Every structure is written in C-alpha cells, then in structure tokens.
Structure 1
Amino acid sequence: MKRCSWVKMTNPLYIAYHDQEWGQPLHDEHALFELLCMETYQAGLSWETILNKRDAFRQAFHGYDLNTVAQMTDAELEEILQNPDVIRNRLKIFATRANAQAFLKIQETYGSFDSYIWSYVDNQAIVNSVADYRTAPAKTDLSEQISKDMKKQGFKFVGPVCVYSFLQAAGLVNDHEDECELKDLAE
C-alpha cells in the first residue's frame, strides 16, 4: 500500500494511526477531544512519542471523559506529573483540564464542538494537493483564525501550528500526499 512518506514504517502504531485515523473526517465529540489533547501534548515533541504514550494518557485522563477531566483537582494533575509513562510537562497536563472546560463551554454555546470546528470549513473538508508532506504548510490563515478564537474561548496550547495539525488529523484539511492511497478515501 502506498502511504504518505512521513509514516514511520517500523512502528505499527504509526502505520495504524495513518491508515485508520489521520485525515479521516472526524465528528465524534470524544474522539475530537482526545485528538485535540494529543496535538497539544505534541508541541515540541515527535508524533511518535505521543502515539507511544497514548494509552498511558488515556488511562491518566480517565479515557478522556470530558466531565471527569474538567473536574480534576490540582492534586490529581500533580499525581499525573509523577507518571513516567506520560509527558510530564506541567503546562500541558494542566492545559488538559482547561481544555476540557473550554470544550464543554463550546458544546453549550454551539451545540457541539463538532459544529463549532467544522463551521470553519463550511462542513466540507479542504483538499490540498500535496506532492510531498514537506511542502504542506505548518500553519495557515485559517489555523491562525481558529487558534485566536480558541484562545479567547479558554483553550491552552492551541497555537496556529497545533491547530493546523489538528485540522489535518481530524480530516478538516486533507493533506494526504497525492500518491497516498488514502487521499481519496479521506474525502
């Protein structure tokens, strides 16, 4: 199978992530929250590191149950910081709770986070021609706009590069390489 050239073929988690998740239009609230959290953890680190620690993060954050995460105490977050199986960055760990709270407020205001985020692309994925992943942008005017609004809504670690990665991963932007067999399937 021809995949995007960024896929690390020696890591089964990476292959599965590309083949089953990345770039597929995502509308499930729970999955959108988990993916947003993963993207915030990734800032400054490799995606492979995040994938390898994904299960530990799920366990630490109660399966990303929004209400539970939003109500976590400082003491519970401090305990997560002692766990060597997660990324022990205080700002990122505490941002998870803040982002759960902001996510819930978005749901109240817009009916769902899905409605909120997909409204930015008129509920239709943006399909880009990408000959080589290194030519895809790290951020766009759209990710700048969304980042700015998300920060106003109380989200943390959602700079324009993080937001663009999230848009790609959640299928709002289809940046599968043109030769990738999943390019048309993600539309």
Structure 2
Amino acid sequence: MPKRCGWVKMNNPLYVAYHDEGWGQPLHDDRALFELLCLETYQAGLSWATVLNKHQAFRESFYNYQVQGVSEMTDAELEDLLDNPAIIRNRSKIFATRANSQAFLQVQKTYGSFDAYLWSFVEGKTIVNDVPDYRQAPAKTPLSEKLSQDLKKRGFKFTGPVAVLAFLQAAGLVDDHENDCE
C-alpha cells in the first residue's frame, strides 16, 4: 500500500480518492478551479470530510459548477437550497457561491481565464515545499494572504488566507505533500 500524507483518513474512501486522484495536481480548467474554490469556501469552520460527503449534492445543486449558470441563480433558487439536507445549509455560504461565480466571471473577463489570473501568483510554476509532517505545515502563508486580499478586493467571499491556502494546495499551485508521500 502506498504511503500517503498523514491527514488522509484511510477509513474514508472519499478522502483516499481525493488525495490520490486530485489533491496537489496542477489544475488549469476554469470550471474545475471554480468548483474547488467553492468546496474550500464551504469548509470554513467544518471538517473536510463533511464537504467531501456532500460534494455530489453540491454539484447537483449548483449546475455542476457551470460558472455562468451559478451566476444567474435567483435569490429564490438559493433560498430553496436551504431546505436541502444533502448540502451544507449555511445561507451565507450558499449566497457566497453565487457572488463568487460573478466575481469569477469578472476575473475571466479581465485576464482571459481564471487559470491565467491564479497561476500568475506563482509565475506559472508549482511551489514545492519541504513537508516532513503535515502538522508542521502552516495554516496560511504570505502567498495565501496576498491572494486572499486580492480575491476579497474582487468581491469573493469566504476566501480568507486559510481557505485560500487549502485551495492553492488542492489545485496544485503549492505542493505540500509530505516528503515521504508516494
């Protein structure tokens, strides 16, 4: 069995698949980046297992994270989601999803793609960190603070530096796999 990062909950197949099939791999697809950003915003104050367990229901609720469709959701549609027990029913986070889609579209308009905007923060190259033990990795970094400030300035919600670092790690801009992770 391969050695994985210590944060992976081996008894949860969603965790294992998330780690093995996506976490830390450079991501350049705008729709997938939007989806991942949304998932990280939902995690604020919750466990990642909660988000993973509700991921499919979130996809179904938010038009498979098609940015334009989410940006056009009405208040009534968002309010209806508050009755859906299959997702995290936090009004602020649900409404933030629409606000973030609208801000995302503006970034695409300005930079040509969210991918181009995002990867410009790391000059197009993954930052590989020395992580002997995930518990020693910081919760936020100067990079996540800088990107967080810029996202907030552009109207993004729930994008504090801790959530942003988790997003950067998941999207492969920052490689914080433990050194002995296979």
- Looking at structure 2, the residues matched to 5 and 159 of structure 1 have their Cα atoms a distance apart, in angstroms, of 24
2:40 corresponds to: 39
1:122 corresponds to: 123
Q: Does 1:73 align with 2:74?
A: yes
TM-score after normalising by structure 1: 0.96
**What is the DSSP-based 3-state SS (H/G/I as helix, E as strand, rest coil) of the residue aligned with 2:157?**
coil
- Looking at structure 1, the residues matched to 118 and 66 of structure 2 have their Cα atoms a distance apart, in angstroms, of 19
Any idea what the Cα deviations from partners look like across 1:9-66, whole Å, max 9, x if unmatched? 0111110000001000000111000000000000000001100000000000010111
Any idea what the Cα deviations from partners look like across 1:129-179, whole Å, max 9, x if unmatched? 101100111001111111001001110000011101100000000000000
1:184 corresponds to: none
- Looking at structure 1, the residues matched to 32 and 101 of structure 2 have their Cα atoms a distance apart, in angstroms, of 13
State the one-letter code of the partner of 1:163. Answer: V
Q: Does 1:28 align with 2:29?
A: yes
What are the equivalent positions in structure 2 for 1:1-187 lying under 5 Å apart?
1-181=2-182
* TM superposition shift of 1:112: 0.3
**What is the DSSP-based 3-state SS (H/G/I as helix, E as strand, rest coil) of the residue aligned with 1:121?**
coil
Runs of 4+ in 1 over 6 A off after TM superposition: none
* TM superposition shift of 1:106: 0.2
State the one-letter code of the partner of 1:131. Answer: P
Any idea what the Cα deviations from partners look like across 1:55-84, whole Å, max 9, x if unmatched? 000000010111110000000000011100
Any idea what the Cα deviations from partners look like across 1:101-132, whole Å, max 9, x if unmatched? 00000000000000000000000000001011
- Looking at structure 2, the residues matched to 122 and 162 of structure 1 have their Cα atoms a distance apart, in angstroms, of 21
* Unmatched segments (≥5 aa) in structure 1: 182-187
* Unmatched segments (≥5 aa) in structure 2: none
- Looking at structure 2, the residues matched to 78 and 126 of structure 1 have their Cα atoms a distance apart, in angstroms, of 40
- Looking at structure 2, the residues matched to 35 and 45 of structure 1 have their Cα atoms a distance apart, in angstroms, of 16
Equivalenced residues, count:
181
